[in-house]
Amino acid sequence: MKHLLTAAMPRDEAVALLDLAEDMHQIQDREVKKLPALRGRTVVNLFFEDSTRTRSSFEIAGKWLSADVINVSGKGSSVSKGESLRDTGLTIAAMGVDGVVVRSGSSGAPTQLADWIGRPVVNAGDGTHEHPTQALLDAFALRRRIHGGAVRGRGLDGVRIAIVGDIAHSRVARSNALLLPALGAEVTVVGPPSLLPVAAADGTRLGVRAETSLDRVIAERPDALMLLRVQLERQAGRVAPSAGEYITGWSLTDERLARLGDAHIMHPGPMNRGLELSSRAADSDASTILEQVTAGVSVRMAVLYSLLASDHPSAVDGGTR
Amino acid sequence: MTSARTVLGPDEIARALTRIAHEILEANHGPDGLVLLGIPTRGAYLAQRLADRLAEITGDDFSGRVGALDVTMHRDDLRATPTRASHPTRIPAAGIDDRVVVLVDDVLYSGRTIRAALDALADLGRPRAVRLAVLVDRGHRELPIRADSVGKNLPSARSEHVSILLDEVDGRDAVTIEGGAA
């Protein structure tokens, strides 16, 4: 693996990354939260969009692996003075950094950057395109919930997951719709018709089954319900339901929670309580929301290790050596 | 294509492990405070086998005193080799503070794996003492490290390849050597 630009990857590679993240996860229980694997490596978090949890999660992941981590935000940097993405990337590369984690509002920016700078690039979310580490951490947290202690080497075979919300504009939904089926899960995307992506000839959207009624999906008793954030800052000029209409149709209300059975409740955060889900749903035992945050650090450690530890990186094969 | 020569068979491996178990007990004046940590993959199986023998010999329960210590993140050759997969670390619930930790590995060669293991241990606690038991010592040390117990000293050329096969992973027990100056 040279870059992590997309969540589209073969099952073996995804499972090996999740297993590696399991080993990284053990550091959470330790007094000394530090591994020397990336000592002497420098990672730049290049964030052109606001982000607290993803940026700090990458920062902690890098630091726990002993890398030097520098945060560069779009605001207040030369980017706001009109510098192009290419020049910013080349400047950072010229400082001798070993890897770049990039978050951008422009779909495809990380892929462009990877072509330009010749260093490992991690996509930390690009526009409405992809957010691969989010999909990996979702898979990690769900795999732990489903398989308990015996997760290694396993996927999410037969696990039925519904992703609810603004599917068309969600990079989280797209990355999950790529990754989770590769792990054997059955994914359904659910949302208002105007917020579902264009259907393919076979009726699928993002390559998976699409539904417009959350109530119908809940009646099917899914194993997990993933609620996407209603992105008020992205709604301008779009045909979207009002908050009231959204709650009526697609929010995990207390009433729907009662019909959901024991499905795991996931949310990539930050959540709007009362809009995507009720407080009772968010705080219930079924909620994996904080586990997802913890998983984020472990998964990002695995990604940074895979990309940066070796001068001759290869996919972690899960083999013995 | 050179054929592999078998140096130790299943019976010899079994006897060597029994002897190592006795040596560990002798050096420690009994089983008190002993914790066995195997280095994955094969060292972890060997540690389990040694724990079973120690339990047999002493009558003590060793199930909570054996674990695995992955050293991947502490290796000094991460940059030079293709990306290495890691393995789980399992530390007994009682921890390693003030215990006598016996590190167990299959082959002692350059000593760099053990150097990494000592670093990994230091992040997990402070043992009273650390010992080293290996099934095969093939020489060619690059660091000032030696084993306290050795199943078999196997002088070898660097060009030779020593393989440890264990029933748990390989379906049979054997130590083989192949290659070298033809």
Question: Is A178 contained in some domain?
Answer: yes
Is residue A316 in some structural domain? no
Please tell me whether residues A166 and A178 are part of one structural domain. yes
- To the nearest whole number, what is the mean pLDDT of chain A? 93
Q: Looking at the predicted structure, is the pLDDT value of residue A162 above 80? A: yes
Beta-bridge partner residues of A209: A188
Within a domain: A315: no
Helix (H) or strand (E) holding A12: helix A11-25
Same domain for A191 and A83: no
CA–centroid distance for A22 within its chain: 17
Residue B87 contacts A, CB cutoff 8 Å: yes
If asked whether residues A125 and A175 sit together in one domain, one would say no
Which structural domain, as residue segments, surrounds residue A156? 132-288
Q: Which residue has the tokens 């510098």?
A: A83
pTM reported for the whole predicted model = 0.93
- Chain B: closest CA distance from residue A216 (Å): 41
Report ipTM for this prediction: 0.89
Domains and CATH numbers, chain B: 5-78+86-179 (3.40.50.2020)
Q: Quick one: A162 and A121 in the same domain?
A: no
Q: Could you give the C-alpha distances from A181 to A8, A221, A308, B136, in angstroms and in order?
A: 10, 18, 27, 45
Non-local (6+) Cβ contacts of A129 within 8 A are A107, A108, A171, A174
Cβ atoms A107, A127 nearer than 8 A = yes
Determine phi and psi for B104, rounding to 5 degrees: -125, 125
What pLDDT, on a 0 to 100 scale, did the predictor assign at position B2?
Answer: 60
Structure tokens belonging to residue A133: 């580490």
Which of B84, B124, B170 would best serve as a mutation to test chain A binding (most A beta carbons within 10 A)?
B84
Same domain, A74 and A172: no
Total number of domains constituting chain A:
2
C-alpha A118, offset from chain centre: 24
The pLDDT of residue B42 is: 97
Is there a single domain that holds both residue A182 and residue A281?
A: yes
Which residue stretches of A72-230 are H helix? 85-94, 109-117, 132-147, 171-182, 214-219
Q: Do both A83 and A214 map to the same domain?
A: no
Q: Provide the percentage of residues in chain A whose pLDDT is more than 90.
A: 84
CATH assignment at residue A58: 3.40.50.1370
Residue that is written with structure tokens 């039925």 in the block: A160
Q: Pairing state of beta strands B174-179 and B5-8? A: antiparallel
Determine contact, residues A99/A118, Cβ cutoff 8 Å. no
A317 falls within a domain = no
Nearest chain A Cα distance for residue B104, angstroms: 17
Q: Tell me the torsion sign for CA atoms A316, A306, A311, B156.
A: negative
Closest CA to B175 of B11, B2, B51, B24: B11
**Judgement on whether residues A45 and A159 belong to the same structural domain of the protein:** no
Rounded CA separation A305/A278 (Å): 37
Based on the fold, state whether residues A105 and A161 are members of the same structural domain. Answer: no
Residues A262, A182 share a domain: yes
Q: With respect to residue A181, please indicate whether it lies within any of the assigned structural domains.
A: yes
Q: Compute how many other C-beta atoms are within 10 angstroms of the C-beta atom of residue A316.
A: 24
Residues A39 and A90 in one domain: yes
- Say whether pLDDT at A320 is over 50: no
Of B79, B84, B123, the CB nearest to A321: B84
Q: What is the mean pLDDT of residues A17-46?
A: 95
Residues A18 and A148 in one domain: no
Distances from the Cα of A318 to the Cα of A11, A17, A26, A150, angstroms: 12, 8, 17, 16
pLDDT digits (tens, 9 = 90+) for B112-155: 999 999 999 999 999 999 999 999 999 999 999 999 999 999 99
**Residue A4 resides in a domain:** no
Residues 6+ apart with CB under 8 A from A73: A47, A48
Is the pLDDT score of A284 beyond 80? yes
Is A2 domain-assigned?
no
Tell me if A319 sits within 8 A of B85, measured CB to CB.
yes
B contact test, residue of A17, A24, A26, A29 with most B CBs within 10 A = A26
Whether A228 maps to a domain, the answer reads: yes
pLDDT of residue B3: 79
Cα Rg, chain B, nearest whole Å: 16
CB of B163 less than 8 A from some CB of A: no
